[in-house]
Structure formats: structure tokens, C-alpha cells
Structure 1
Amino acid sequence: MQSKRPITSRKKLDSTSPALENTQLRRSQLLQSFHFSCRRRVDEIANQAACFEELAETFPGLLFALATNYGTAEARRAAVAHLISGSRLREAANALGLPWWMRKLPPQAFNKRLETLPDDPKFSARIVNLLPTVPAISAKWLERVTQAYRICGPEFALWVARHDRFHAPLITDPALPYVAAWAWFADHPETLGGQLLRRPWTPNMSPRRAFDEVTAWRKRIRLALTLSSLSRKPWLSEGSALGYEFVELRTIEDFINESDAMDNCLDSFSEKLESGVSYVFSIRRNGLPVADIEIGVHPVDPTLPTIVQLRGPRNRRAHPEIWRAAYSWLGSQELHPVPPQVVNSAARRRAWRALWKPYLATLSPADREQFEKIALELDKLRTRRRTRTQRMRTATAQRPDPILSEDAGTAC
């Protein structure tokens, strides 16, 4: 005899299954997934007609665009007409100017008004395979991809879309606009920013490797700015001893070439140069670098030079013969006080503007302002403070003329 318990359980499942599969319930849940700031307006649009409510399942981005007045009024009317007449969703999206690749994005991806979205055919064909699979990161994904496309182009945007590291970044990761600038300069080797790259960006590069290269590039930029603002006279003369030549490093090209040849960190030597008196010489034999030496001031006698460090390739210990040559070269120097070191802040600002000018010219005003804030902080550049007279002149220039104001009669 069959037990009654399984029959009761089967009846219970049969009674609940239709509720779980109810279309209205599913659509209601999708509508509730939109951001709270626009949920009321989305509900109003969805309640107007069944074709609008269906968009919560078929094209959430189109429903959100209509609810937030995306595009022109004429374009919205055309899109609504296509939806009411039962036309294909692609026709409604094209009428509104909404990219078709956004169709599969979940409601959670839309938390603020949509800006101009990339609709390049090649980009659209590739981005559909890179859509996020986790709804929780879809909003950040959409924001980062559209920003990357806007500030560096389609290839960089596809690279950002491919890696989840950009949508859930670590606190130590560099800002996306700075990474975009690094990638942009990789395609412009004729610029100073392109010449300072250690390794250029490629779409096959991992985010971790890219962040390491951005950090190295940032240090080179800071060194270039420091050398451009550092004004000092030579303290020690170049020369030779025991068959070794001692050549001072003065320009950013000197430091980068020496760093590449010796595989060391001389291309990130800006802090040493900024913090105090430091002179760097390349020790060469037959024209080839074999070691690098940093000369500082003796802690007791400021007229005496002292060896701060002397290293061979890859920061290895230098051969004793090189040490003897270094001391012999130092012994032949004329002793005199260290010449004063002057840091020209105005020259540093000019160099900063010249460095970033090619890239800033490609950005919109809003993106340019955001990037300048990031770059100013990372490059340790202080904006020039206006004097009290300059502030008073600005205030006077901005003060409205009482003759042209609405209260002209009262003011006179």
C-alpha cells in the first residue's frame, strides 16, 4: 500500500511550482534589482504597457535609458513607437542610440545616468563575450569599460573588460586614468612620456605586470621632473683613474640608459636627488659601464666627498680594483664646499605641463580635470600659490559692474 506522506509532499510541490515560475513575480524581482535612485521612475515606465515591463527581462538597459531620459526627446519617442508597434528590440535600441551589446547586462549594472556609450561595430562584436557574470560587479564593470574607452580607446577598454582586477581593485592598485595614460603613451613613442616607458603596454599583459610597469614609469616621470627643476653646478670633475673613466649622470637620458645597462634602480633616483646633495657617476672601462658610484657630503667636513654606495651590475658588490680606482679618482679632486642646490618650482611646473600636454589634449574637460588631480598628487607637484595682490586682482575682475547689474540704480 502506498504511503500518504509522499502524496502530500507531491501536492505541496505542485502547488508551489507555478508561483516560483510566475512571470510577473520574476519581472517584479528584476524591477526591484534596479538602483533605488531610479527604481520609482523605472516602475512608472514599466506599468504603462506590457511591452515596457518585458524589458526588465529582455533589455534592462533600454528600460533604464527610457526611465532616465537617455538621448533626445525625439529619439525616445521613436524608440517607444517601435516598442508599442512590436518591432524588434534592436530597432528600438538603434532609434535611441543605445548599443546592442548592452542587452545582456543585468539591472544591477545601471546605477547612474548613462553617458555616451561606445557603439563601434568591431568593439561591439568583441565586448559581448566579456560581459560580467556576477551582477554585483556589473555596475563597476560598465563604469570602468566606458571610462577606459573614452580616455584611451577600444583596445584598452577591451583589456579592462577582460580582467576582474579593475572592477574590484586593491587599495594599492594605481588609478585607472593613470594606467590609461601609460597605455596611451605606449602608442606615442615620439613624446617624452613614451620615451620614459620601461616596457610598453600590450593587450596580452596581465594587470599585475601592467601595474608594476606603471609604478616604474611614474618613478621615471618624477626623476625627469626633478632633474628639470634641479639647478646646481658641478662639484667633482669627471676624470679617469687606473684605467676607469668616471662620467657624471646629469640628464634623464643618462639615468635611464645607465639603469638599463646596469639593470639597477637608477631610473627611480629622484628621492635621493630631492632629499639632499647626491651626485651619481658611471664608472666605465673602454666606454662600457661596469659600476655606479654615488657621492655625498662627508658628515664631519662639508668640503670632503664620501662614497655613499658603489655597486656593480644588478647592484652586486663591485670588484676591489674598482674601489681602488674610485678612491684614486676622489684623491685627485680639488676640495671645495658643495655648491648650493636650487630647486626651481616654476621649471618643474613647466616640465610637468609639457610632459602631459599631448595626452591631456585628447581628453574631455571632465576627464582632464580628474586626471590632473591624480597626476598632481602622484608627481608630487605643488600648484603655485597666488599672492595676496593676485587674489585681490582676481576678485576685482570677477566683481560685477554696478552699472550693468540689476540694481544699477540703487548702486549708483
Structure 2
Amino acid sequence: MSCRPLQVAGRSELLERRLRRYHPRFQDAVRALAARHPRLAGLAASFPALLFALAVPRTRLDPARAIACVVDGAPLAQAAAPADLPLWLRKLPPEAFVRPIPRLPDGELFRRQIANHLPRSLKLAPCWLQLVAEAAELAHEPMAAWIAREFVREPRRVTTARVRLICLWAWFSSQPTTLGHDLIEKPWTPDMRIDAACSAAREWRTVVALHANLGRMPIADMWLRPGRMAGYEFMPLDSIATVVEEAKAMRNCLRTLGSSLAHNHSRLWSIRKDGERIATLRISRRYRDPLPNLIELQGPGNIEVSRELWWVARQWLHKHDLSQIDMRQFDWGTAPIDRESWPSLWRPYWLAKRRIPHWLPVAPSRTALELL
């Protein structure tokens, strides 16, 4: 009895097991391509990603040339080139592919780095691959290698919702001649961990929002006048620079109030004595009262201030004719973004990426700003 039928049956069974590992949605396409030639079927073992990429090509990719290379017995590197598929994908299992494979980084340094950060979990492999592709597209290859490493380390902390902002901040971290870079307090570096990167990116977004809300010109109407009372000096925080300086000196969160200032809901003042910053004051409406009120008055690090200082602040407030102050407010979300600041912030990114993404439009958008 010949053992050849048994060998053929064994190979068919092995191929079937490999094909079953592809996502059910794409099984028919993968099987149809594998059935066209034994060498194409062999990719299920030697290069699962290439078989998938040829069966489920991404938009505007014609797989014919790569398929011909495989059928002709060309080396895998030669066959993968017309499919624009990096060879490091050979190490990924069929379970990693749940959508057409996007463009992926393939620099020499990246290839060396990515080998150390491949996903160990079949379940997490698709998310890992998508994050690597997005990081490369949104930022650059070093960011793609970094996100691959951080996802393998702590997959629960690396989510697609976080990646866009982190990548935008990381890209501007490497662009020293841009306004976006000037607003960064802590730039991205490859040795950062995910939590530190998220924190620094959020801080940058806060300053970006302040800049987009206030623009370059000082707030024209501070409601009240600078002045002195009982030895204390009341100074307006009417610009990006004064707000940022006060926030740093007083260790508080004033930088988060850009939207409140733009919507005419608040005004900020610095209280000083003998040139020293003593407290930060926020003026706003309280409940149904249409007149200005003392809403917050706090010292460095948000500590409570004395009863005396509250009384001084109230005396200063009531030196003004409060009935004449226009405190009409914008409805939340309706105050316009500064038209000069928006393109100044994002133009370098649009030009470098040669596109204007839908999430970062040309027209100033409060929605886009809030979704970063």
C-alpha cells in the first residue's frame, strides 16, 4: 500500500487547520486564494500575513504582481515587496488579521525593535497590530515601536481612545520650530511608560485648549478694574501667559479654565502683596444671581486663605458698580475658537502628513478640540 495518499491527506488536514485560524469573515477569500496554487496555500505556514494580504488587499493595492511572484517560486521578500508588506509580519499568527492590513513601518531600526515587542496573546494580536499601524500613521516609527512595547507590557492601559492624543503630542515633541512644540512642558521620549505619557499629553492638551480658547490677544473685558485694597494688589489674569504663569507659581489648575473664560463664565485675578503672589481669585455668577460673585479664593497649592483676605476681596469687588457689568454668557459649546490660533497650531502637522484628518479639520472646531 502506498503511503502517498496518507501523506497528501495529512498535508490537507494540516492546511485546513491553518486556514481555520483566519477570521471567519475572511475565510472564504483566504481559502479561494489558497486553492489557486500549492505555493499560495503554502503561505498559510510560511507567511500567514502575506496570504491574508493577497486574499484581502487594502484599498488601491493590486495583489496580482505579488501573487505571480509567489506562484513563480520567488523568495518571500521579493513576493512581499509588491504587496507593500514588511517581512517582520511573518512572525504574526493568522489570528492577528481581522481587517485589511494597513501600511506598516519597516525601517531598519524599527525591524530590530519590533522583534522584541510582538504580542504573546492571540486574542490581543489584532489590537496590537492596529495600534502599531495607527501610531506610525499619526506620529512616526519610533512611536509605533513604543506603542508596541507598552501594549505588550500593559495592554489594559493602552487603548485606541488614548492613542490619537498621545501620537499628536509625540509628533509635536519632535518638531521644535512649531507652536505645538512650544506649548509642551514635558516632551515624549522613548523611555517613558504609558501612564507618564498619558499624563504629559493631557497636560499639553490643556495648554493647547487654553491657547485655542483665548488666542493671542488679552481678554478685553475683565469685568473689574485692577486696584489695591488694604495693602493687597488685584492684578488681571487676562492672557495665556498670565494664566500659565499664575498656574505654575500657585500650583493650581487655572489652565483648565480656558473654555470657561471663552464662554464668558469666569474671570481670573491674582492677589499679591509686596510683589508676592498670595492667592488666586475666580469671579463668576452664582446660581441665579446676575451679578459678579467671589467663587473661588485659594492660596498656593489650593490651600484655604484667611477670613481677612476674603473680606478684602469682597471690599475690592464692591468698589465697582456691579450693576453695570455685562456678564452675558455663551451657551456651553458655542463660544468660537480663536481663528488665528487654530491653523497656527495644526498647519505643520497637516503639511507634514500631507492630509487634513477629519478629526483635525481646517475650520476651528470646539468639538474637535474636546475630542482630542
**What range is the shorter-chain TM-score in?**
0.7 to 0.9
Q: Bigger shift: 87-96 or 289-298?
A: 87-96
**Number of residues paired by the alignment?**
357
CA distance in 2, matches of 1:79, 1:55: 12
Q: Among residues 344, 357, 365, which one is paired with 1:354 in the alignment? A: 344
Contact 2:46–2:90 (CA under 8 A) maintained in structure 1:
yes
- Choose between structure 1 and 2: higher helix proportion: 1
CA distance in 2, matches of 1:89, 1:51: 11
Structure 2 partner of 1:42: 30
Question: What is the letter of the counterpart of residue 43 of structure 1?
Answer: R
Q: Among residues 152, 162, 168, which one is paired with 2:149 in the alignment? A: 162
Task: Please tell me whether residue 310 in structure 1 is matched to residue 300 in structure 2.
Answer: no
Q: Among residues 349, 352, 363, which one is paired with 2:353 in the alignment? A: 363
User: What is the deviation of 1:276?
Assistant: 4.9
Structure 2 partner of 1:395: none
Q: Residues 244 and 117 (structure 1 numbering): CA distance in 2 closer, same or farther, change over 3 Å?
A: same
Task: Please tell me whether residue 122 in structure 1 is matched to residue 109 in structure 2.
Answer: yes
CA distance in 2, matches of 1:359, 1:128: 29
CA distance in 2, matches of 1:300, 1:74: 70
1:338-365 superposed Cα distances (whole Å, 9 cap, x missing partner): 1355769556355333322222223354
CA distance in 2, matches of 1:111, 1:300: 55
User: What is the deviation of 1:380?
Assistant: 4.9
Q: Residues 237 and 166 (structure 1 numbering): CA distance in 2 closer, same or farther, change over 3 Å?
A: farther
Structure 2 partner of 1:177: 164
TM-score when scaled to structure 1? 0.73
Q: Bigger shift: 167-176 or 329-338?
A: 167-176
Contact 1:31–1:43 (CA under 8 A) maintained in structure 2:
yes
Q: Residues 359 and 316 (structure 1 numbering): CA distance in 2 closer, same or farther, change over 3 Å?
A: same
1:134 partner SS: coil
1:289 partner SS: strand
1:361 partner SS: helix
Q: Residues 166 and 67 (structure 1 numbering): CA distance in 2 closer, same or farther, change over 3 Å?
A: farther
CA distance in 1, matches of 2:133, 2:154: 12
Structure 1 partner of 2:3: none
Structure 2 partner of 1:289: 277
Structure 2 partner of 1:250: 238
1:237-256 superposed Cα distances (whole Å, 9 cap, x missing partner): 11233443221001122111
Contact 2:213–2:338 (CA under 8 A) maintained in structure 1:
yes
2:244 partner SS: helix
CA distance in 2, matches of 1:211, 1:60: 34
User: What is the deviation of 1:176?
Assistant: 2.2
Matches within 5 A, 1:18-167: 24-69=12-57, 72=62, 75-76=65-66, 79-80=69-70, 84-85=72-73, 88-94=75-81, 96-164=83-151
Q: Residues 195 and 208 (structure 1 numbering): CA distance in 2 closer, same or farther, change over 3 Å?
A: same
Contact 1:177–1:371 (CA under 8 A) maintained in structure 2:
no
Larger Rg: 1
TM-score when scaled to structure 2? 0.80
Q: Bigger shift: 141-150 or 236-245?
A: 236-245
CA distance in 2, matches of 1:376, 1:29: 51
CA distance in 2, matches of 1:64, 1:149: 21
CA distance in 2, matches of 1:43, 1:147: 28
CA distance in 1, matches of 2:263, 2:112: 52
Contact 1:69–1:76 (CA under 8 A) maintained in structure 2:
no
User: What is the deviation of 1:321?
Assistant: 5.3
CA distance in 2, matches of 1:292, 1:74: 68
CA distance in 1, matches of 2:49, 2:337: 49
Q: Bigger shift: 146-155 or 163-172?
A: 163-172
User: What is the deviation of 1:152?
Assistant: 0.3
Gaps of 5+ in 1: 1-17, 382-412
Task: Please tell me whether residue 224 in structure 1 is matched to residue 211 in structure 2.
Answer: yes
1:382-403 superposed Cα distances (whole Å, 9 cap, x missing partner): xxxxxxxxxxxxxxxxxxxxxx
CA distance in 2, matches of 1:171, 1:349: 33
Contact 1:291–1:312 (CA under 8 A) maintained in structure 2:
yes
Question: What is the letter of the counterpart of residue 369 of structure 1?
Answer: H
1:163 partner SS: helix
Contact 2:237–2:268 (CA under 8 A) maintained in structure 1:
yes
CA distance in 1, matches of 2:92, 2:214: 49
Question: What is the letter of the counterpart of residue 273 of structure 2?
Answer: R
2:324 partner SS: coil
Q: Bigger shift: 174-183 or 115-124?
A: 174-183
